[in-house]
Structure 1
Amino acid sequence: MVSREEMSTSFGRHAARYESGRPDYPAEAVAWLLEPLAAAGSRRLRTVDVGAGTGKLTRVLRELEADVVAIDPDPDMLAELRRRVPGTPTFIGTAERMVLPDASVDAVLSGQAWHWVDPVLGAAEAGRVLRAGGVLGLVWNVRDDGVAWVRRLTEIMHGSVAEQLIADGGPPPHPPFDSFQTRVWEWGRPLGREEFLDMVASRSYVITADDVARRRILDEVGTLFDERAERGVVTLPYRTEAYRAVARR
């Protein structure tokens, strides 16, 4: 039986496939996470992307002209991030233990990662590093299983810890955060066959499966792609689920 810890630290083995297969975050969703900080005016926001992976969220924050520090426990993922988002400061660390001073950032953000975090310890650590009025912003891209063929895809490759968290109502707040505001964006991502397979192959369940199970999953997913593709492309429907909270003082 593969442990939760082993699954949570498996992604670096396939960092390039993760970068290829996983979707980016809609800029409007990330801007919404930062919206409570509008009073900062022209000052550049100082943010930390914790569980930064290959830099999917880091890139959007940079495009929104925020200063970003990227933190992840996996050096291979951070190496890929440095290739993709050069010039970004990176540190080995976790949401429960960030290598940052007290009250040093405006926002702590986490994309596709908070479900691996101890939420009580993670919230307390976010509260420690945030300035007064700082924001904890959490975001996930989840496939829209309301579509029949997407449900079939999930059945083949199995659901994830993140998808279960969202299905159960999302992340619960813990001190110093009282509640989360939430918003959802619906959109579609066009994928070629290689990207579609990379999306599946970069999931922790598939990475940690034995060779026979992994091959079976990828073969079945490839067959599904071939059935659905038009001119070599499948558009995969996504829901971006965003949560934000302001630290109380």
Structure 2
Amino acid sequence: MDLEDRKLHSSSFGAAATAYAEHRPDYAQAALRWVLDLAPGTRVLDLGAGTGKLTATLIDLGVDVVAVEPDPQMLAELRRGLPGVRALPGSAEQIPLPDASVDAVVAGNAMHWFDMAVAGPEIARVLAPGGVLAGLWNVIDDRVGWAAGLEQVSGPAAIGPRDTFGAWRAATAKLHLTRDGAPAGFGSPEQAEFPHGQRRTADSLVATLGTRAGMLVMPETDRAARLSEIRAYLAGRPETADGDFTLPMLTGVLRVRRT
């Protein structure tokens, strides 16, 4: 994806902020426990916070959270859903916080949108020495048969290059965090995955896939046709045809520590 396409995709979420907040999954707490020192008073920046899915999980773990999000509509949805959280406009490339003001910076399904050549030094600036930078991605576990079939039917617009376990493992070396090793000022990257899942119905899973960036930028007729194909696939699978089911997922994590 070139720079212009990345900008188009990354700016597509605001128009679907309410649907994003309703349908996108939270994150495995075990993943954040692996990333963070959960001592009282730990200061965490949720960068590219969106509507606050990762922010809410951090709150549940009892850390001191500040959220930063560039899209006004996503930020408004975050503030509506989590009114007690300090939530600021800003971006990975321009973080509205003082030097060395947080112990960890985390990004949920957002780091692949960052321009790490600019964002890396900016993140290092706001991190205290020894602090952690971590990207988290919720991915579909395509080792499960029906989930692998869903990927084939959905196509890359709905289930993209970082959205399944197999693809995410293959792509981690190409992500901005690890493209040239760790960003300057950070140690070597570490990687782990943690089991996760989300209770869904066919309708809610179709709605979830409709919030993917590739789907949001499609012409409406193409988008409707693709979602109809996905709905037909789910209706034809015994695992998903009737009532609630669990979408098998993992939360994949890349973390580095500021030196």
Deviations 1:38-71 (A, max 9, x none): 6xx44x1111100100101101111111111111
Aligned ranges 1:8-157 → 2 under 5 Å: 8-34=10-36, 37=37, 41-42=39-40, 44-157=41-154
Cα RMSD (Å) of the superposition?
1.9
The structure 1 segments of at least 4 consecutive aligned residues displaced by more than 3 Å after TM superposition are 161-166
**Secondary structure, counterpart of 2:62 in structure 1:** coil
Cα distance in 2 for partners of 1:169, 1:205 equals: 20
Among candidates 202, 214, 219, match of residue 211 of structure 2: 202
Structure-2-length-normalised TM-score: 0.87
Asked if structure 1 preserves the Cα contact closer than 8 Å seen for 2:139 and 2:168, the reply is: no
Asked if structure 1 preserves the Cα contact closer than 8 Å seen for 2:105 and 2:127, the reply is: yes
Asked if structure 2 preserves the Cα contact closer than 8 Å seen for 1:115 and 1:165, the reply is: no
What is the CA-CA distance between 1:230 and the residue it aligns to?
5.2
Tell me, yes or no, if structure 1 residue 242 matches structure 2 residue 242: no
What is the CA-CA distance between 1:162 and the residue it aligns to?
3.2
Q: Unmatched 5+ residue regions in structure 1?
A: none
Asked if structure 2 preserves the Cα contact closer than 8 Å seen for 1:189 and 1:238, the reply is: yes
**Secondary structure, counterpart of 1:81 in structure 2:** helix
Cα distance in 2 for partners of 1:63, 1:144 equals: 25
Deviations 1:184-210 (A, max 9, x none): 112332202332112111001111000
Cα distance in 2 for partners of 1:69, 1:166 equals: 29
Other-structure match for 1:167? 170
Q: Unmatched 5+ residue regions in structure 2?
A: none
Alpha carbons of structure 1 residues 61 and 185: separation in structure 2 relative to 1, 3 Å: same
Tell me, yes or no, if structure 1 residue 191 matches structure 2 residue 200: yes
Aligned sequence identity (%): 37
The amino acid of 1:135's aligned partner reads: V
Other-structure match for 1:233? 244
